[in-house]
Amino acid sequence: MRTPPFVAAALGCLSGILCASAVLAQVDLSGNWVLVSTQSGREHATGPYPGDFSGIPLNVQGRQAGWAYSGDERQELYRQCEPWSVSYIVTGPWGGRFTAERDHYGHVIAWHLSSQAYDRLPMTIWMDGRAQPPPQALHTYDGFTTGHWEGNTLVTHTTHLKDSFLERNGAPASSQETVNLFWTRHDDELSVLGVMRDPVYLEAPWPVTQTFRLTTAGSADIVPEYCEDAEIVQGVSDGYHSATVLPDQLPAAQHYMQQHYNIPLEASQGGAATMYPEFSKRLAKTYKTPTNYCTQYCCTGRDAEKFCKNSNN
Amino acid sequence: MRACARSLERVGNATAWRRPGAALAVACLGAWLLAPAVVRAQGRALTAGAAAAAKSPSAREQAPYDLTGYWTSVITQNWQYRMVVPGPGEYADLPINAKAKQLADAFRASADTAAGKQCEAYGAAALMRLPEHLHIHWQDADVLRVDTDAGMQTRLLHFRPAAAHAAPEASWQGWSAAKWVLANAGGAAAGAAGAANAPPVRYGSLQVITDHLLPGLLRKNGVPYSAETKLTEWWDLRVEPEGDQWLTITSTVVDPQYLQAPLIYDSIFQKLPDDSKWAPAPCSLIS
């Protein structure tokens, strides 16, 4: 039987709407996203202070591993180009570019988050419902990530990570770490919540947030950077061996926050309790606000250096 | 989708244009061409759609998820500026201008305490950053009430149109206009087989815009914000497969008087099973 053309056209329109709605059901993340959050600006830029694990739910093992870290390890030739782990998306200074990989029908089968810096690997988020690989499969710094949409939020789950760090001051992360990320788009802003879990080094989930903004500026903060494993920081490492830190010779880093900010060791050593308001009340009984005027990393914003020098320091 | 693809493949043959399936293919092609543009505009479209829908059902009925209950703040970022009162001159991460810095340098907590201004550090622009617990409940069908134990403050999030109130007086918590920005269920859930009888899964965000604020402090060491401050917040509920519920609030503080650029920060709250941790405490500038 021959189908009248107008019927075919109507069916076509209906089909077209259905085709379109399948696509509309997903928020488009494509484009360049730059970090806009002003919180933790110094921590994102230079990394947290040495030995400052406050607000990180480290267990005893995690604390010991964190204190033993001196930074020298990163100067060894074979580790100079070692990237940070997936949680660096919410703790690091970089944005990235989202691109979609589609099948013949236009379905997104994966989102790719590029990295402009050598210290974070590109991340692939599989959206096609594929299963997690077996536990003994290869572990990498970008891990294995699957995702699905919940309204305007992309929910991703990452496993198969290598031993790495939660923060650049040595807060450790094991190969058993998992990362849940919630990417929620609000107009041109992307609010990201990362929740890290690690049965080896953490005694509770560690939630951290970050906010990015879509930019049309092209390569604003998407400049490729390549690592060359030749730079040796003199006096820190000879490039082949890291300094040995014995348990009874833990570095002065563990007292850094006490010495500079009056924040006691019970806070800077981290632990789940340090994340909650009850800890603030407990600390208030002994904590004394420093009386000396700030001397480093005091200001943020345009002309910050000049800005700070204009007054008391 | 498969029908679309098959039709599009057939169009490759020139004679196929005379066949009925060609119309289907043309329509599909149109949909394919239009879809990306619509998708790009989706963020704004969601906002507009929610505004239109808010006229009939109440905000409580329209809520895509339940925020009511008790929550605890989880301080994992900017710890040294939030869990303790930072020392003088500690202004990192606040894009303040020279005037703000001058005022902050001259700030004395004892003087403001003596003047009865302790709650200036508990205004809406900074309240959600404090270590605290929240009690969220509906005051009525269109007003979501947020009580804090820190400083014993109350924020009222009004879902009724702004015209319903007449020139509110400035206060620590100001006037907050709220709306749900609803989203559909997402690619995988939309049209899922067997879901016809199931209640629709709803998602979305809560947008809150606050103004009519009294001048206050962004940080307890004296960093000020002015009465011209406007606060925009996105409240999102994130539920993990592991069972944890997180409320994240992404805040943008714009203050033409004291900030060089918008201050953008997030606050994280974790759902509590009950009120056992609720511990009201008065405002304080020294702890």
| In the predicted structure, residue A299 carries a pLDDT above the cut 80 | yes
Q: Which two tokens stand for residue A49?
A: 């202070």
Least confident of A65-74, A143-152, A198-207: A65-74
Contact B167, B191 (CB under 8 A): no
Cβ neighbours of A291 (radius 10 Å): 8
The pLDDT of A237-262, averaged and rounded, is 67
Q: Label residues A139-170 b or e (16+ Cβ within 10 Å = b).
A: bebbbbbbbbbbbbbbbbbbbbbbbbbbbbbb
Q: Which of B3, B38, B207 sits opposite A15 (nearest CB)?
A: B3
B75 close to A (CB below 8 A):
yes
Q: Is the pTM of this model over 0.95?
A: no
Tokens of B192: 């899922």
Q: Kindly state whether residue B92 falls inside one of the protein's structural domains.
A: yes
In the prediction, which pLDDT does A27 show? 86
Bigger pLDDT: B19 vs A291: A291
Q: Indicate the pLDDT class of residue A45, thresholds 50, 70 and 90.
A: confident
What residues in B contact A104, CB-CB < 8 Å? 5
Domain match, B36 and B106 both: no
Mean pLDDT along residues B220-237: 98
From chain B, pick out residues whose CB is under 8 angstroms from the CB of A306: none
In a domain, B45, yes or no: no
The answer to the question of residue B202 being in a domain is: yes
Instruction: Please give the pLDDT value at position A68.
Output: 83
Residues B98 and B21 in one domain: no
Contact B79 A54 (CB under 8 A): yes
Q: Do both B255 and B127 map to the same domain?
A: yes
Position A219 scores a pLDDT of: 53
Is residue B208 predicted with pLDDT exceeding 50? yes
Cβ contacts of A17 on chain B, cutoff 8 Å: 31
Between the CA atoms of B104, B108, B109 and B112, what dihedral angle is there, to the nearest 10 degrees?
A: -100
Contact B124, B252 (CB under 8 A): no
B49, two tokens: 């759609």
What is the mean pLDDT of the segment spanning B65-89?
Answer: 96
Backbone angles phi, psi at B91, to 5 degrees: -115, 10
- Mean pLDDT (chain A) is 81
Is B284 a member of any domain?
no
Residue A173: predicted pLDDT? 95
* pLDDT band at residue A43 under the 50/70/90 scheme: confident
Please answer yes or no on whether A289 and B236 come within 8 Å at the CB atom: no
Contact B261 A301 (CB under 8 A): yes
B31 with B128, same domain? no
Q: Which domain holds residue B30?
A: 2-40
Residue among B155, B164, B134 nearest B231 (CA): B155
Q: Do residues B262 and A34 touch, judged by C-beta distance below 8 A? A: no
Across the interface, of A26, A278, A292, the residue whose CB is closest to B186 is A26
Model confidence at B14, in pLDDT bands (50, 70, 90)? very low
Interface test with B, best of A99, A280, A286, A296 (most B CBs within 10 A): A280
Q: Is B167 exposed, middle or buried (0-12, 13-18, 19+ CB in 10 A)?
A: exposed
Residue B211 lies in a domain: yes
Per-residue confidence (pLDDT) for residue A80, from 0 to 100:
74
B9 lies in the same domain as B76: no
Local structure of B30: helix, strand or coil:
helix
Name which of B238, B244, B255, B287 to mutate to probe chain A: the one with the most chain A Cβ atoms within 10 A of its Cβ: B238
- The model's confidence at residue B56, banded by pLDDT at 50, 70 and 90, is confident
Report yes or no on B52 lying in a domain.
no
In whole angstroms, what separates CA A66 from the centre of its chain?
A: 18
Query: For A279-287, which contacts have Cβ atoms below 8 Å and span 24 or more sequence positions?
Result: A279/B83, A279/B131, A280/B75, A280/B83, A280/B84, A280/B131, A280/B287, A281/B131, A281/B279, A281/B281, A281/B287, A283/B83, A283/B84, A284/B84, A284/B287, A287/A262, A287/A263, A287/B84
Per-residue pLDDT at A25 exceeds 70: no
Average pLDDT for A132-154: 95
Question: What pLDDT does B7 receive?
Answer: 41
CB contact under 8 Å between B90 and A56, yes or no, is no
Whether B193 is covered by a domain: the verdict is: yes
Whether residues B75 and A55 touch (CB distance < 8 A) is answered with yes
What is the interface size between A and B, counted as CB pairs within 8 Å?
323
pLDDT tens digits along B98-139: 999 999 999 999 999 999 999 999 999 999 999 999 999 999
- Which residue is closest to B261 within chain A, CA to CA? A301
The tens digit of pLDDT for each residue in B243-282 reads: 999 999 999 999 999 999 999 999 999 999 999 999 999 9
Q: What is the pLDDT of residue A230?
A: 58
Same domain membership, residue B107 and residue B71: yes
Same domain as B95, residue B8: no
Q: Alpha-carbon distance A303 to B33, whole Å?
A: 46
Please determine, for the modelled complex, whether the ipTM score is greater than 0.90: no
- The confidence score (pLDDT) of residue B24 equals 44
Looking at the domain A31-48+70-215, which fold is it? Lipocalin (2.40.128)
Q: What percent of chain A has pLDDT over 90?
A: 50
pLDDT given for residue B281 in this prediction: 97
- For chain B, the domain total comes to 2
Q: Tell me, yes or no, whether B32 and B150 share the same domain.
A: no
Do B237 and B159 lie in one domain? The reply is: yes
Shared domain check, B138 and B24 = no
Of A17, A149, A277, which has the smallest distance from its Cβ to B72's Cβ?
A277
pLDDT tier at B193, thresholds 50, 70, 90: very low
Residue B130 belongs to a domain:
yes
pLDDT at B183 over 50: yes
